[in-house]
């Protein structure tokens, strides 16, 4: 992979150890785990080991981890499964949630549920005190992400989780997909009821994710028609994807602190570049995951990306959802950033394989490209 790949928020290259763990299940170990044979026994054991590794990463029990196809599915299940067939009809999200939470919430609102979208500060942070005030007797669910894939901002996770003590009958969900790669999330201590996780965010394979459902939490399945995942998420499981997810979680437990330290150094290089060129950074600088820098340039962002691509740089203009939806970013709008300014956004999410030299090379390309586009700007 090119050392100038800056799209790690959207897809990370699986680690070599992850690929090796998947290999036996791509051809030789292929039997259906619901059948009875020695091969099926090995498949069941592999899936269980993966489940245990994912659970260990977040301080959960293996039986509380349910494998799904993607983080989007996990978020959909968390919201829809919580509010369907419940007598209460009010739920709360933040204004900076991932598209899969934000649009699911809007869908549920159109179905008649009462939606409260919490505003954020200009730094992108939800006030836990205001969040507590938004909860009322009719509230069934609160869903606040741990960290944003778009602006990288980390919410006050401990304070939000602590609200569960005041509101024990309310379900608390967090999209922790970006958060857990570099930050600790201990669900034996934090009383979240539902947590979305994803393999690819941990340098595992795409196509598999998980929803943590705390033991005793009642939620409705999205899919029916089989007994996989204890009947909660039917469909033939992929042992290769599960093995890759499990290996990625196992590796993250031992390497995430080093990954974080290295990426914080890379991030400081990018902060220095932005400051030197007078380019604002969206969101909090301090409450931020290690691999995220969203720049708000004063030139056309798409032109910038096209010219950078000619130099081998792969980056994006923000969430991958927006160009195809032809919509302005609801996340940047929630921060009070004007639409004109969002059109110059450049999202950089470096990876753990990048060095100081790699970032310096990128900085040179970026400065040359920005200077050129500023010179020819109308």
Q: Is 321 a catalytic residue?
A: yes
DSSP codes, 81-95: HHHTT-S--EEEEET
359 in helix, strand or coil? Answer: helix
Query: From the CA atom positions of the chain, what is the Rg in Å?
Result: 21
116 in helix, strand or coil? Answer: strand
CA pair distance 38, 41, nearest whole angstrom: 5
Instruction: Name the nearest CA neighbour of 72 among 196, 155, 178.
Output: 196
CB 263 within 8 A of CB 352: yes
**Per annotation, catalytic residue among 21, 79, 321, 346:** 321
Instruction: Name the nearest CA neighbour of 79 among 63, 95, 90, 64.
Output: 90
In this structure, the number of other CB atoms found within 10 A of the CB of residue 32 comes to 14
Distance, CA of 315 to chain centre:
17
Across the strands, what pairs with 354? Answer: none
In eight-state DSSP terms, residue 300 is: -
- The catalytic residue positions are 321
């Amino acid at each position: 992979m090119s050392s100038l790949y800056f799209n790690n928020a959207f897809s990370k290259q699986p680690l070599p150890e992850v690929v090796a763990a998947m290999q036996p299940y791509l051809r030789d170990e292929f039997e259906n785990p619901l059948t009875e044979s020695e091969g099926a026994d090995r498949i069941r054991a592999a899936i269980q080991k993966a489940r245990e590794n994912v659970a260990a990463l977040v301080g959960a029990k293996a039986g509380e981890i349910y494998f799904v196809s993607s983080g989007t599915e996990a978020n959909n299940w968390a919201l829809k499964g919580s509010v369907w067939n419940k007598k209460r009809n009010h739920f709360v999200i933040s204004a900076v949630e991932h598209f899969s939470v934000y649009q699911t919430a809007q869908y549920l609102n159109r179905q008649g549920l009462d939606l409260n979208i919490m505003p954020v500060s200009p730094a992108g942070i939800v006030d836990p005190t205001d969040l507590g005030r938004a909860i009322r007797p009719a509230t069934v669910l609160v869903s606040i992400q741990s960290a944003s894939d778009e602006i990288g901002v980390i919410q006050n996770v401990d304070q939000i989780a602590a609200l569960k003590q005041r509101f024990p009958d309310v379900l608390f969900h967090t999209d922790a997909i970006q958060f857990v790669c570099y930050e600790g999330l201990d669900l034996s201590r934090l009383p979240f009821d539902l947590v979305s996780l994803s393999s690819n965010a941990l340098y595992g394979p795409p196509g598999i994710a998980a929803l943590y459902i705390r033991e005793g939490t009642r939620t409705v399945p999205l899919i029916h028609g089989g007994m996989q995942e204890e009947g909660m998420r039917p469909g033939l499981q992929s042992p290769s994807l599960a093995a890759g997810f499990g290996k990625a979680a196992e590796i993250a437990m031992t390497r995430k602190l080093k990954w974080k330290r290295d990426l914080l150094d890379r991030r400081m290089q990018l902060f220095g570049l932005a400051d030197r060129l007078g380019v604002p950074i969206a969101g909090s600088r301090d409450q931020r995951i290690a691999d995220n820098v969203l720049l708000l340039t004063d030139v056309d962002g798409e032109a910038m990306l096209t010219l950078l691509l000619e130099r081998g740089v792969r980056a994006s203009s923000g969430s991958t959802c927006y160009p195809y939806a032809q919509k302005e970013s609801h996340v940047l709008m929630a921060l009070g950033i004007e639409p004109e300014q969002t059109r110059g956004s450049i999202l950089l999410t470096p990876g753990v394989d990048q060095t100081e030299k790699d970032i310096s090379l990128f900085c040179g390309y970026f400065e040359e490209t920005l200077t050129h586009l500023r010179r020819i700007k109308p």
